[in-house]
Structure 1
Amino acid sequence: MDGLKKRLNESVQLKLSFSLSLAILAVAVVAGVFSFLSAFDEAHELQDDVLRQVARLMDQQRLPPATAATDARLSDEESRVIVQRLGDGNLSPVGADAGGRLRLPTTLADGLHTLEIGSETYRVLARTTAAGKRIAVAQESGFRNEIARDSALRTVMPILILVPVLLLIVADLVRKLFRPIATLSKEIEQRAEQELHPIEDHHLPTEVRPFVVAINRLLARVAESMDSQRRFVADAAHELRSPLTALSLQAERLAQAEMPSQARERLVVLRQGIERGRNLLDQLLTLAKAQSPTEAPRSPISIQKIYRRVLEDLMPLAEAKHIDIGVEGTQDTRVWASELDLIAVVKNLVDNAIRYTPEGGGVDLSVSTEEGRAILRVQDTGPGIPLAERDRVFEPFYRTLGSEEIGSGLGLSIVQTIARRIGAEIRLGFADDAKQAGLSVVVIIPMAAPSQGAESLHLE
């Protein structure tokens, strides 16, 4: 009972359905009882009219009641009407069921009476005819009640049939009335973090629109706040670029000068710090762009083309560490995504793979298709990411414990942000499951529709 009360208090839809159902049942019970009693009384009244009509017919046609009661009976026992004289004195030794006469009192007053005769109950009409004779017209009450009850039940039967149907209709109507709210909830739930555009309210009920207006105002304030933060990050990164570039140039000029070995070692550390700061600024700018809304792509993009552009940019970094890097296979596919977004995703994944792979290792890129989706895979022979840290590596500025590589900790965060925006999915695993070594990053992206991607999928 407490569980039902809790559910009713938590759900307006359930409370409304329960209240309407309870009201319908209450009205149906009252209407059913009233209809049953009215029909029952009406049936009895009709049966009394039958007795009056029989008595009137006997009087008007001057038909004397037969001395044998069976002569005045109908063949149907349930519908039989007994007609006999009152005060004859010729009482039959057998009962009425066996064809005898009813033992009625001679002093019975004119009118309708309910009498107990033997073990049976009879409805009796006493009447004095125009000739001065007194007659009695009787019918067994048990049969009368059964007929009246059947008639009353037939009157109530439509209510008994229609009430369950009405309850189902009400439950269905309530569910349909709340469907726009459920649709609205589902729409908001499926939105990505960056989708802060207003909710359409023209198809919603008037009672719900004030809530939607309030939500839209909140979304507008959140969007404005996020835009302000992105602008601040982008502006700060731009402003810091110039002094860092100047420091980098000064460090290069200083490296050309003669200096003790100890000072040169410190200069190397300084230049690494400056380079790390420049990389951090570049990553911050990329993250700010990834968090900003972009226009929908107008045409599908070749994955192999993206691979080639990324390898051209990062090949010097791979050669410096003697890393064998390349694309496995010649299979290609096209996906509906922004070219800049795909370049940012692949470039960050490959850059991480090169940085965390030891010298002489390998980085492999591949693409395949499965169930209408493009499978982008980047594998390396580095240490991989432990299972315990895989949920945290997508957080901004988080770096794997024990890592000595120079980085900002924003690469996978940028990849995750772009993946959510384009509807992609990212999976992390080991390149070598047996040794639990190496990192395998799989990016699953919906492919272009056949009609839209009918162009050749060969390398451009």
Structure 2
Amino acid sequence: MIDAMRQRLVHALDLATLGDYDAAKAELEPLDDPISGRLLLFIQGLEERDQRDLRARSMLRHEVGNALSIAQSNIEGIVDGVLAPEAARLEGIRDAIVGAGRLIAERPKNSIAESPSTTISLAPLNICALIAAHAAATAGMAEAKGITIVYETCGARKLACENYYGDAMRVGQILRNVLINAVRYTPPGGTIELQCSLDGGRLHVRINDSGPGIAPEDRERVFEPGYRGPNVGSAGSGLGLAVVRQLTEELGGHVDVRSKPGSGATFWIDLPMVSLATTSD
């Protein structure tokens, strides 16, 4: 009896070592003794850790891949003479490459799952220039599909815009993911409109595409990790909008989508408008 129990415990450990957690748990669950119960809890903990690690690695691969895709499409367009090396576009390329490097540098040495929260680094920046840079950088990817990105600023040029206090990389990730999502869903020849405004101490960014739209039952689901809409085809991982919601909330903001099937989708990004003048009072 003891030998049979020992064999089952060892077999469960071997299965867990191979990553077959379901079979390991199935081996232990029928057993009724303290050792098997503790071993079952240990294996469940290992499974949860591996799942967190897998999700975090997928997010990292997605974000670095997005940034490098933006940089690559623009550099190729400039080299081929299709895109002009204008200042905003070059700033967008730089921000994408620097952002990818920072994401990789933030990865923990042992397990990426050791870092449950996002690192937020606040610094002064020109929020209007940041939005313009990401609009110009994404335009390179959009033009390859014959899509036009139109960026309409509020035109106020307020001191608060020029002295915004925030995390340029995280705000850039939010913009990049929504814009790439819009490019992915907008058909060739379509238009993506980007607008920003200030109201009541909040920064509002509106990104509207001319894609197929989102069904009412899917509007909340688009922010779930891994969810992919029915019109995306083979592209997309379903992670981009989940990253947008996570980062927006960690920055103290909110993101929402409004859409009617067949009439495109409009994403509203709301962020706290903190200026250097405010923080110094």
Structure 2-normalised TM-score?
0.55
Kept after mapping to 2: 8 A contact 1:314/1:351: yes
1:235 is displaced (CA, Å) by 9.6
SS in 1 for 2:232: coil
Cα deviation 1:417-460 (Å, max 9, x = unaligned): 10111111111113xx6x86111100111111472479xxxxxx
Cα deviation 1:313-345 (Å, max 9, x = unaligned): 322211111111121133453644311101100
Cα deviation 1:214-242 (Å, max 9, x = unaligned): xxxxxxxx9xx87993488439977xx9x
Partner of 1:314: 138
Partner of 2:122: 297
Matched positions, count: 185
Partner of 1:181: none
Cα gap change, 1:304/1:298 in structure 2, threshold over 3 Å: closer, same or farther? closer
Q: How many Å separate the matches in 2 of 1:235 and 1:386?
A: 27
Cα gap change, 1:397/1:235 in structure 2, threshold over 3 Å: closer, same or farther? closer
Name the aligned partner's letter for residue 199 of structure 2.
E
1:234 aligns with 2:57: yes
Partner of 1:362: 191
Q: How many Å separate the matches in 2 of 1:302 and 1:291?
A: 29
Q: How many Å separate the matches in 2 of 1:380 and 1:448?
A: 28
Bigger radius of gyration among the two: 1
Cα gap change, 1:386/1:303 in structure 2, threshold over 3 Å: closer, same or farther? farther
SS in 1 for 2:250: helix
For residue 204 of structure 2, the aligned residue among 375, 379, 383 is 375
Kept after mapping to 2: 8 A contact 1:331/1:367: no
1:385 is displaced (CA, Å) by 1.3
SS in 2 for 1:393: helix
Cα gap change, 1:335/1:376 in structure 2, threshold over 3 Å: closer, same or farther? farther
1:372 is displaced (CA, Å) by 1.1
Cα deviation 1:92-148 (Å, max 9, x = unaligned): xxxxxxxxxxxxxxxxxxxxxxxxxxxxxxxxxxxxxxxxxxxxxxxxxxxxxxxxx
Kept after mapping to 2: 8 A contact 1:303/1:367: no
Unaligned residue ranges in structure 2 (runs of 5+): 1-44, 65-100
Pick which of 301-310 and 436-445 moved more: 301-310
What does 1:63-102 correspond to in 2, within 5 Å?
A: none
Unaligned residue ranges in structure 1 (runs of 5+): 1-221, 242-281, 455-460
Q: How many Å separate the matches in 2 of 1:378 and 1:293?
A: 24
What does 1:39-50 correspond to in 2, within 5 Å?
A: none
Cα gap change, 1:394/1:226 in structure 2, threshold over 3 Å: closer, same or farther? farther
Kept after mapping to 2: 8 A contact 1:335/1:374: no
Q: How many Å separate the matches in 1 of 2:275 and 2:198?
A: 13
1:340 aligns with 2:147: no
More RCO (CA 8 Å, sep 6+): 2
SS in 2 for 1:310: helix
1:326 aligns with 2:150: yes
Q: How many Å separate the matches in 2 of 1:440 and 1:453?
A: 32
Q: How many Å separate the matches in 2 of 1:404 and 1:415?
A: 21
Name the aligned partner's letter for residue 321 of structure 1.
K
1:415 aligns with 2:244: yes
Cα gap change, 1:419/1:377 in structure 2, threshold over 3 Å: closer, same or farther? same
Identity rate of aligned residues, in percent? 27
Q: How many Å separate the matches in 2 of 1:229 and 1:352?
A: 25
Partner of 2:268: 442
Name the aligned partner's letter for residue 357 of structure 1.
T
What does 1:388-399 correspond to in 2, within 5 Å?
A: 388-399=217-228
Kept after mapping to 2: 8 A contact 1:336/1:446: no
Partner of 2:22: none
Q: How many Å separate the matches in 2 of 1:408 and 1:446?
A: 29
Cα gap change, 1:395/1:452 in structure 2, threshold over 3 Å: closer, same or farther? same
Name the aligned partner's letter for residue 439 of structure 1.
A
Name the aligned partner's letter for residue 270 of structure 2.
I
Partner of 1:385: 214
Q: How many Å separate the matches in 1 of 2:203 and 2:118?
A: 23
Name the aligned partner's letter for residue 176 of structure 2.
K
Q: How many Å separate the matches in 1 of 2:129 and 2:267?
A: 19
Cα gap change, 1:295/1:418 in structure 2, threshold over 3 Å: closer, same or farther? closer
What does 1:46-65 correspond to in 2, within 5 Å?
A: none
Structure 1-normalised TM-score?
0.35
1:386 is displaced (CA, Å) by 1.2
